[in-house]
Amino acid sequence: MLKYGLKIWSINKDWFGEATALQKRGLIDFIEIYLVPDSFRFADFDVFAQNEIPVMVHSPHTSHDFDVFNLNEKNLAIWKEQIVKTADYLRSPFIITHAGVGDSSEIFQKEAQKLKDRRVLMENMPKIGFVKKTGGVSCFGYSKEQLEFIHEQCGFEICLDVGHAFSSAVAQKKEPEQFARGLISDLQPFYFHICGIGDTQGIGDKHLDLWQSDFDLKWLKGLLVGLSQTKDIFIAFETPKKGKGLENDTRNIDYFIRLNCK
């Protein structure tokens, strides 16, 4: 079954009630919440817990100085006290985590073991992301080889961000759809991030409305429908927020639902 979710941040408290109502109305199946460190208390999430809303936790990433390649004492405290405990509180079955910034498989494996939790899904990355934060250094988990290492040698399931995959393919001078198809076929992910993918010549990470995409998304819809015949497929929409509420999120989800398969 295809399960549709929208993404909000822990600082978006004004939207918690609206997101809960959307799930109760059957317009979404789950909520993915990105945790900004030190921006919340467990009580802030009571509207989800009390209404038994399925919530998936997304850990902070380098935009908030959390990096698998730099798991210092502060970041490990954030992991244990804020991320893991929030996932426990909300009964989140998954903790989506960026693979971080670096190019050493050995360092990644050593550091990632500190986050070992059966719920962790490592998210594939664009080759270059958050340029101002990283100085243009390559992200880990952008190539097929690195993702196979994360999956096979480190034991993590993968959250497949389709936009990241396309951005990585462009940076590697690979055909984007073929690259993304290969990742899905070989890694067998069941959790996806999708958005409109723009600028076929760019390597940056963009999050557009689905109807603004430079790439045909019909093939993706058909592929995910096929995968959903044997297992639940979770799709979190990372499309832009417009206006004061979540209407644009539901517009994008409805657009995808209505999209013909290829």
pLDDT in tens, 207-259: 788 998 888 889 999 999 999 999 999 999 999 888 788 999 999 999 999 99
Q: pTM of the prediction?
A: 0.94
Please write the tens of the pLDDT for every residue from 178-195. 999 999 999 999 999 999
What gap in Å lies between CA 152 and CA 121, rounded to an integer?
13
Which domains does the chain show, CATH number per domain? 2-258 (3.20.20.150)
Average pLDDT, the chain: 91
**Is 243 exposed, middle or buried (CB count within 10 Å of its CB: 0-12, 13-18, 19+)?**
exposed
CB neighbours of 183 closer than 8 A, spacing ≥ 6?
124, 144, 147, 158, 160, 165, 189
Tell me the pLDDT tens digit for each residue of 109-149.
Answer: 999 999 989 999 999 999 876 545 555 568 999 999 999 99
